[in-house]
Amino acid sequence: MKRIWDIDELAEHWSLRFEENRLLKTKPARNHLPFAVQIKFYQNTGRFPSTINEIPETPLHYLADQLEAEVSGIQDYEWSGRTGARHRREILNFQGIRRVSATDKHAFSDWLINTFYPHGSDPADATEAAFGWFQQRKVE
Over the stretch 46-103, which tens digit does the pLDDT of each residue have? 889 988 899 999 999 999 999 999 999 898 899 999 999 999 999 999 999 888 899 9
3-state percent breakdown (helix, strand, coil) of the chain, nearest 5: 70, 0, 30
Domain boundaries, the chain: 7-95, 102-136
> What's the burial of 41, exposed, middle or buried (CB within 10 Å: 0-12/13-18/19+)?
buried
Examine the pLDDT at 2 and tell me if it is beyond 90.
no
Please give the pLDDT value at position 123: 74
pTM of the entire predicted model: 0.79
Examine the pLDDT at 30 and tell me if it is beyond 80.
yes
Examine the pLDDT at 23 and tell me if it is beyond 90.
yes
Distances (CA, A) of 116 to 13, 101, 112, 113, 139: 26, 21, 5, 6, 18
